[in-house]
Amino acid sequence: MISSPRATSNRPSQNCPSGYAVGQATFPRRSSDTIRVRASVDGTEGTFIVDTGASYVSLTSAFARRANIAGRGKLIHLQTANGMRDATLTQVKFVSLNGVTAANVPVAVDGRSGPSLGPDVDGLLGQSFLSRFDVRFGPAQWSITQR
């Protein structure tokens, strides 16, 4: 789910708590343009696509139910690559992957039931998580580092 406008309010500042964004990791990059990672949201693990064009971390409704996130938040409208979509904007305690963790992350829960992002995909890692880190993409690997 790609949304506009980009989230800009999640940039670190001097007053951010120490757990705001911590860690660093490097991942191999496969030949596909799509980068899939295993990440956890409030302790529930899933498969996510790294999407630098998505404003928010986006969760399928099925994953949100598994993570006990569904049903809380405010209704928003997202512009995605496949058109407009309704979602619920809420906040989770943390999102983490391979030792890289961000606290109090805004997430958008897809309002549609079913596999909205394709088979075996639980969500997108968008800018509400990525913007807290220095993220670099190379031909053979990509890295994410605490700012």
Domain ranges of the chain: 33-146
Q: What is the pLDDT of residue 68?
A: 94
CB burial string 41-53: b at 16+ within 10 A, e below: beebebbbbbbee
Check: CB of residue 96 under 8 Å from CB of residue 116.
no
CA–CA separation, 98 and 115 (whole Å): 25
Q: What is the pLDDT of residue 5?
A: 35
Q: What is the pLDDT of residue 97?
A: 94
Phi-psi region of 71 (alpha: psi -120 to 50; beta: other; left: phi over 0): left
CA–CA separation, 109 and 107 (whole Å): 6
Mean pLDDT per block of 10 residues along the chain (147 residues) reads 38 48 88 87 96 93 90 83 85 95 95 72 96 93 92
Domain 33-146 grouped into CATH 3.30.70.141: no
